[in-house]
Amino acid sequence: MSQEDEVWLQLVDEPISAIVAEVEAEDPELRALVASPEKLLAFRTFANIRVGVVLGRLLVENEVQAYDGSGTWVETLLENPEHRREIVAEVRAVAEELAQDGEAEGATPDEATHARFREFARRELGG
């Protein structure tokens, strides 16, 4: 990888994590949606990926001036309030999707389901 490629990756990766952290800090309700450590890790991972995808699409759809040392292309894109709202909406969507998954996971199996599983395990594991 060339030095230019390394600089490009840093300009992409670091701002994305910072954007997700900033949106998270601005909206305390997001933390409530992803309260467990596992959900928080999933939230940050998926939010980083999806924000990266949105930023990539915005970069392709919008003309951005060549880097002159004063600001990154990400900062330039986020100067547009519509782009900022789109990013915030994407981060919120990730949190809401994880919260909905958690609600579905909250349903616990009944005793009949436990009994069927125990019987299956005895049969399959020979115990």
Give residue limits of the domains in the chain. Answer: 3-125
| Distance, C-alpha 74 to centroid of its chain | 17
Does residue 89 surpass a pLDDT of 80? yes
Single-letter amino acid code for the residue at 27: D
Residue of 126 and 72 predicted with greater confidence: 72
User: How far is Cα 103 from Cα 40, in angstroms, rounded to an integer?
Assistant: 15
DSSP state of 110: -
Please state the rounded mean pLDDT for residues 115-120: 78
Write out pLDDT tens, residues 4-23. Answer: 545 444 444 578 889 999 99
**Least confident stretch, 9-18, 30-39, 93-102, 116-125:** 9-18
**What's the token pair of residue 6?**
């390394």
